[in-house]
């Protein structure tokens, strides 16, 4: 039987943030969600999250799945105190307890799995994850013999000068035999520099403690401040880009682009500098994205081109060209071969195949057929101040420059709208509609006597 407990009650004082540390975002997810994900494949019998500082906010963010048991630690008197809160909760539990610090987000699932396997095969009281760091500042130092037996952990701030030269550090990830841990937990004391109950002290109290060193120390980076948060973000981004380059995506300037883990790319996608993909993005083969674009929760077909544009919550068909300086907003559905040009905004609208909105337009709450040509500066007036209304335009229609389509309005197919028209009434198929005041010309005006 396996229980996993994530320590997520701390305030994260060193972040200097209104947000609890474990809810800080990293590559589109939060620290604690990443930590939880690193243990998911173990399919533990119990999943416990120890919450304290802004507990309601953490529960609200993570409670939806119903898989987690939230355990309150109030006040937050250290990592040992946090695990003491499990004593009543796991009273009848018999098995291993995997403890994960909520601020160690780069941990690979394989590493967690190896730790548990190692623990099970050694039959120790505790197996803890360690790393040799070039700069161990801030981490607890692990004192172990050459056979991997651990005598104790001393926190950086409690170390002597000599102890600090030991660069074997505690990752904050432990697999305990729960029964043995439960026996020593009540004996913890606050006899340390912070006056807190340290989980690390249990390691020295247990008879049989061993450690397991990670091969890639970057995996156990703990996040205590914004600088470490930025370093982890950079590492994660590098992992993601490396992965996609292996899958056939080209980055012209990899370091200037960021991705989320929920992005999927086809082959021969070219990503130009300063292009960022967030949320869940599906990008088809041969797309060319950027430079300078933001794509979020969007689905792009094959051979789509996006230049200096923002595409959010949109579905885009094959061979569409977007930008420069276009803005596709949620529920924009763009058919195959469409063209969305400069300074065009499309929201909650469907454009049929081959339609073009090339310059200076707003298309909102509209249904455009196929091969529609929207003239420069055409606007759908979709909002009457209270409600939004629909505009419908049939196949092969064209609007002249600077047309205003006042919704609700339906324009048939093969319609021509004269430039500068304000269209307030429906237009039947094949008609020409002009809705503007007649031009008045006064000859000889310049030579008039005053």
Element containing residue 310 per DSSP (H, E): strand 310-312
Under the binding rule (CB under 5 A), the answer on residue 103 touching Ca ion is yes
* Residue, CB closest to ligand UD1: 140
| Contact with ligand UD1 (CB under 6 A) among 28, 44, 222, 375 | 222
Angle (deg, nearest 10), helices 31-39 and 109-122: 50
The helix/strand/coil state of 318 is: coil
Contacts of residues 387-393 at CB distance under 8 Å and 24 or more positions apart, as own/partner, are: 388/364, 389/365, 390/365, 390/366, 391/363, 391/365, 391/366, 391/367, 392/366, 392/367, 393/366, 393/367, 393/368, 393/369
Name the segment binding ligand UD1 (CB under 6 A); options: 99-107, 234-242, 317-325, 350-358: 99-107
Q: Please, which residue, 138 or 324, has the CB nearer to ligand UD1? A: 138
Under the binding rule (CB under 5 A), the answer on residue 222 touching Ca ion is yes
**Nearest alpha-carbon partner for 222 in 5, 18, 16, 24:** 24
Q: How many CA atoms lie within 13 Å of 136's alpha carbon, on the beta-carbon side?
A: 23
Place of tokens 């339609």: 355
359 is catalytic: yes
Name the segment binding Ca ion (CB under 5 A); options: 100-108, 294-302, 316-324, 383-391: 100-108
* 338: Cβ contacts below 8 Å, ≥ 6 apart: 317, 320, 321, 351, 353, 354, 355, 356, 357
Count of residues binding ligand UD1 (CB under 6 A)? 31
* Residues belonging to the chain: 450
Q: Please, which residue, 230 or 245, has the CB nearer to ligand UD1? A: 230
Footprint of ligand UD1 on 194-213 (CB under 6 A): 198-200
Residues 341, 360: Cα–Cα separation, whole Å: 8
Q: Please, which residue, 222 or 317, has the CB nearer to Ca ion? A: 222
Letters for 224-253 (x = contact with Ca ion by CB under 5 A, - = none) are: x-----------------------------
Footprint of ligand UD1 on 18-37 (CB under 6 A): 22
**Nearest alpha-carbon partner for 368 in 339, 408, 388, 397:** 397
Task: State the binding partner of 306 from Ca ion, ligand UD1, none, CB within 5 to 8 A by kind.
Answer: none
Under the binding rule (CB under 6 A), the answer on residue 104 touching ligand UD1 is yes
| Contact with ligand UD1 (CB under 6 A) among 82, 150, 214, 334 | 82
Under the binding rule (CB under 6 A), the answer on residue 412 touching ligand UD1 is no
Letters for 134-153 (x = contact with ligand UD1 by CB under 6 A, - = none) are: -----xx------------x
Q: Please list the active-site residues.
A: 359
Which residues contact ligand UD1 by CB under 6 A?
Answer: 7-10, 22, 50, 52, 73, 76-79, 81-82, 101-104, 139-140, 153, 155, 169-172, 198-200, 222, 224
Q: Which residues bind Ca ion (CB under 5 A)?
A: 103, 222, 224
């Amino acid at each position: 039987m396996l229980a996993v407990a994530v320590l997520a009650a701390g305030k994260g004082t060193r972040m200097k943030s209104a947000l609890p540390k474990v809810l800080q975002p990293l590559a589109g997810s939060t620290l604690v969600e990443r930590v939880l994900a690193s243990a998911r494949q173990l399919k533990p019998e119990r999943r416990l999250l120890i919450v304290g500082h802004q507990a309601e906010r953490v529960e609200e963010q993570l409670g939806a799945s119903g898989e987690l048991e939230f355990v309150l630690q109030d006040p937050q008197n250290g990592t040992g105190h946090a695990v003491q809160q499990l004593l009543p909760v796991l009273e009848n539990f018999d098995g291993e307890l995997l403890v994960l610090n909520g601020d160690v987000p780069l941990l690979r699932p394989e590493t967690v799995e190896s730790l548990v396997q190692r623990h099970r095969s050694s039959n120790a009281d505790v197996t803890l994850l360690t790393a040799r760091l070039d700069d161990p500042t801030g981490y607890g130092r692990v004192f172990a013999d050459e056979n991997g037996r651990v005598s104790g952990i001393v926190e950086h701030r409690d170390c002597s000068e000599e102890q600090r030269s030991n660069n074997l550090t505690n990752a904050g990830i432990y697999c305990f035999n729960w029964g043995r841990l439960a026996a020593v937990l009540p004996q913890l004391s606050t006899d340390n520099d912070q006056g807190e109950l340290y989980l690390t002290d249990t390691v020295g109290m247990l008879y049989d403690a061993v450690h397991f060193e990670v091969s890639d120390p970057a995996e156990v980076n703990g996040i205590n401040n914004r600088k470490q948060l930025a370093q982890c973000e950079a590492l994660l981004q590098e992992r993601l880009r490396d992965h996609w380059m292996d899958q056939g995506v080209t980055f012209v300037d990899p370091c200037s682009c960021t991705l989320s883990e929920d992005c999927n790319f086809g082959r021969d996608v070219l990503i130009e500098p300063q292009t960022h993909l967030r949320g869940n993005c599906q990008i088809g083969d041969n797309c060319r994205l950027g430079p300078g674009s933001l794509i979020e929760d969007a689905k792009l077909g094959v051979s789509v081109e996006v230049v200096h544009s923002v595409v959010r919550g949109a579905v885009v068909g094959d061979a569409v060209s977007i930008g420069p300086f276009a803005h596709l907003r949620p529920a924009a559905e763009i058919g195959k071969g469409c063209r969305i040009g400069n300074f065009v905004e499309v929201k909650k609208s469907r454009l049929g195949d081959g339609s073009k909105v090339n310059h200076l337009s707003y298309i909102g709450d509209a249904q455009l057929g196929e091969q529609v040509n929207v003239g420069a500066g055409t606007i759908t007036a979709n909002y009457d101040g209270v409600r939004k209304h629909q505009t419908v335009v049939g196949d092969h229609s064209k609007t002249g420059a600077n047309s205003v389509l006042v919704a609700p309005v339906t324009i048939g197919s093969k319609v021509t709208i004269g430039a500068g028209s304000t269209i307030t009434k429906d237009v039947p198929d094949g008609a020409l509609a002009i809705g503007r005041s007649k031009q008045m010309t006064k000859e000889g005006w310049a030579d008039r006597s005053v």
